[in-house]
A and B are shown apart, each in its own frame.
Chain A
Amino acid sequence: MMLSTGVRKLALVAHVSTSVGWLGSAAAYLALVVHALTSGDPVTIRATYLVLEPIAWYGILPLAVGALLTGIVSSLGTHWGLFRHYWILLKFLLSILGTAVLLGNMSTLDTLSRLGATATSVDSGGLHGQILHSGGGLAVLLIVTVLAVVKPKGMTRYGWRRTAGQR
């Protein structure tokens, strides 16, 4: 089903906003973790243990899910399709991967949050894994952004057949 022009533009604005928000929130998350690790200050480290979970739950995850859903709507509701072009398919798969890794990290963040709230002393070791998560996530999101801007050529076999059938 093709979207009307107004709905298509609305979906695109929502998709760009959530995608850029996801990238920005991941960058802020990484900055927070790096700051805590380099400061070595126990208060800063404890505070970081406490804030990472709410940032991920209420900031990054809603943006990630929003970007994924609005991307599906924007692609399926236009001539681009979700499975016709490799760059869209790859973007979709990378977004799923990023969201899945984020969800898989939530239990770790829950543990860090409880440690920060209850332990009398915490070391910065729990944040090393978060560098990997946020740095890797940021790299994936940058690749997704490049794909969205460059739109490299290449149709899937399905897209090729559909295009041929429309002629």
Chain B
Amino acid sequence: MDPGIDYPGMPRWVKVAIALIIALVLLAVILKVTGGANGHGPGRHMSARAGR
């Protein structure tokens, strides 16, 4: 890697990693918004018998 030459650009592994991270973040956001993953959030899991 010689800094005297032109910048070679972003390596492929970085592009793949960024794409994977974006996909996972989007998946997490979708699950959060739609309440997927078997009901994300504790409010859904209060038993009818729960006495508060």
Question: Chain A: residues with CB nearer than 8 A to chain B?
Answer: 86, 90, 93-94, 97, 101, 108, 111-112, 115, 118-126, 128-129, 132, 136, 152-155, 157, 160-161, 163-164, 167
Report the Cα distance A125→B38, complex, angstroms.
8
What are the residues of chain A within 8 A of B31 when measuring CB–CB?
132
| A153-B11 contact, Cβ under 8 Å, with A163-B3, A167-B3 | yes
Report the Cα distance A108→B37, complex, angstroms.
15
Residue in chain A with minimal CB distance to B51: A120
The SS class assigned to the A binding surface is helix
The SS class assigned to the B binding surface is loop
Cross-chain contact A154 with B10 (CB below 8 angstroms) = yes
Kindly identify, within residues 34 to 52 of chain B, every residue whose CB is under 8 Å from any CB belonging to chain A. 37-47, 49-52
Cross-chain contact A157 with B42 (CB below 8 angstroms) = no
From B4, B10, B24, B39, contact of A128 by CB (8 A) = B39
- Beta-carbon contacts of B1-34 to A below 8 Å, as 1s and 0s? 1011001001101100100010011001001000
Pairs across A and B, CB under 8 Å, 5 listed: A86-B11, A115-B50, A119-B46, A136-B28, A155-B1
Nearest-Cβ distance from residue A146 to partner chain B, whole angstroms: 11
| A129-B50 contact, Cβ under 8 Å, with A86-B11, A160-B7 | no
Cross-chain contact A154 with B4 (CB below 8 angstroms) = no
| A90-B14 contact, Cβ under 8 Å, with A160-B7, A164-B3 | yes
| A111-B42 contact, Cβ under 8 Å, with A119-B47, A152-B13 | yes
What are the residues of chain B within 8 A of A154 when measuring CB–CB?
10-11, 13-14
Residue in chain A with minimal CB distance to B43: A111
Cross-chain contact B42 with A121 (CB below 8 angstroms) = no
| A121-B50 contact, Cβ under 8 Å, with A111-B43, A154-B10, A167-B4 | yes
